[in-house]
Structure 1
Amino acid sequence: MKLDLELDDRIGGLITAFQNSPEKVDRATRRALKKLSRFAERHTLRALARQQGITQKTLKALGRVKVSLLKPGERGSEGYSLVVWIGASDLPAHYLGQPRQTTSGVKTGKHFWKGAFLMQPVNAPRPMVFRRKDNWQHQYQRSKKSGRMMWMGLPLEKQALPMLHNAIKVLEKLKPLLLERFTTLMQQELNFLWNEAFNI
């Protein structure tokens, strides 16, 4: 996500006052954007965790939210760019909380998977949540073991929580918040430099 920020008149006036000191304006911009990137990460994690019904800690541990500040010339950017990235592939159910088998399904955190069961695949470090597919058929495909074509497949599907829709909603709400926050931070940084320059 790339933001095109339009600065209000108050910031424009402060920047004009610093026209003869472009390095100071650049310093203020860098500091404001660093603070903005931390704000963006906190806000994105909080909003997405609330939407998905999981903890921020889980989202962070899975590396689903990353915010990076690109300097001019980095990855082809002309000026500073703030990139907010959300990994929007479905979240496997076993990451949403300690899986607990019940008579009618599996509970993971706040989520319940009706008709599901716990099973630990051979190469998995912990049990995962599966459910039988409703309309399942064998597929004619090549065996990885023998290399022959045969009818094969399992009538199971791993349960996961969709994320794409909520990720889009979070990013749409984030853009105006970031613009407002950047305006405030930039004004604070320029005011700080202004006061610093005249207190010497």
Structure 2
Amino acid sequence: MSVGSHFRTSASTGEITIQATKADLQAFSAFVSAVPKAAANAQRRAINKTLGWLRTHIARAVGQKEGIAMKAVRQRLRTYLVRGGTMRGKLWFGLNPLEASRTGRARQTRTGVSVGRRRYAGAFYKKVYGGAPDIWIRTGSKHFSADDYPASDVSGAGGPSSGWISENDSRFPLAKAKIELDDVLPLFRSWTQQAEKRFLELLKQELNFELQKHRSKGRG
């Protein structure tokens, strides 16, 4: 318990860990030693409440920054609550580019597709591989820009006009509109720091609650 809450990333995912340190519990050390089960219950509730608080605020912050519906952001966030003896909770999030069609209501226009505050000139919204429709563009279109269609595997010499996009093991001269999420990493770092403060507040509240219950039983 020497390492407190922290944030780390890999190539395609990130993870925020919420846990207490020995210093966090120092003020309640006597109670923790005397009634370890009650103290563990307090820690568990504090961690799980912090994870719920963190998930809500990160979803809102990312949605506002990138113009993405909160529902779409939440689909990239997964909480691992404390349920056993390990007093460590985690919030996982995926950083792979997000399909633009998932970020809001896509609208087909004469000039392309709009979704939220984004516009994809020359694109069309329809099913290509079955399942849900997506926002696509022909790579030969004069409106095609790799910046608007990240994580697409463009192959073939001669530039975009002769390139092919590989999706789902099939090959079509199409690219799917996606949104890169690398720019939101500073938000996760910032909210990790705020989550640490929130966790300490909740931990004190929960430990005090258990302490008062313990004292009430002693007087009973």
Per the normalisation by structure 2, the TM-score is 0.69
Alignment of 1:1-200 (within 5 A): 1=15, 2-3=17-18, 5-6=20-21, 11-60=25-74, 63-71=75-83, 79-126=86-133, 128-133=134-139, 135-136=159-160, 137=162, 153-166=171-184, 168-200=185-217
What SS does the corresponding residue of 1:19 show, helix, strand or coil? helix
User: Could you tell me whether the CA contact under 8 Å between 2:96 and 2:181 is conserved in 1?
Assistant: yes
SS in 2 for 1:89: coil
Aligned equivalents of 2:45 and 2:103: distance in 1?
36
The higher radius of gyration belongs to 1
The verdict on how the C-alpha distance between 1:102 and 1:72 changes in structure 2, with shifts beyond 3 A counting, is: same
Instruction: Give the SS at the match of 2:119.
Output: strand
Is the 2:81–2:89 contact (alpha carbons within 8 Å) kept by the matching residues of 1?
yes
Q: State the alpha-carbon separation in 2 of the partners of residues 43 and 88 from structure 1.
A: 17
Q: Which amino acid aligns with 2:70?
A: Q
Partner residue in 2 for 1:150? none
TM-score normalised by length of structure 1? 0.75
- Sort the Cα spacing of 1:119 and 1:34 in 2 relative to 1 into closer, same or farther, 3 A: closer
Q: Deviations over 1:97-141 (max 9, x none)?
A: 332223332111222112322343152343x212232523257x9
Q: Deviations over 1:40-74 (max 9, x none)?
A: 221222222222212222333xx21101124567x
Q: Structure 1 counterpart of 2:193, which letter?
A: P
Contact 2:95–2:182 (CA under 8 A) maintained in structure 1? yes
Offset, 1:19: 2.1
Q: Tell me, in whole angstroms, the C-alpha distance in 2 between the residues paired with 1:13 and 1:186.
A: 11
Unpaired segments ≥5 residues, structure 2: 1-14, 145-158
RMSD: 2.8
CA pair 198-122 structure 1, distance change in 2 beyond 3 A? closer
Q: Give, in whole Å, the separation in 2 of the partners of 1:162 and 1:121.
A: 22
Question: In the aligned structure 2, how far is the partner of 1:197 from the partner of 1:122?
Answer: 61
**Identity over the aligned pairs, expressed in percent?**
23
Bigger RCO (CA 8 Å, 6+ sep): 1
Moved over 6 A (4+): none
Q: How many residues align?
A: 180
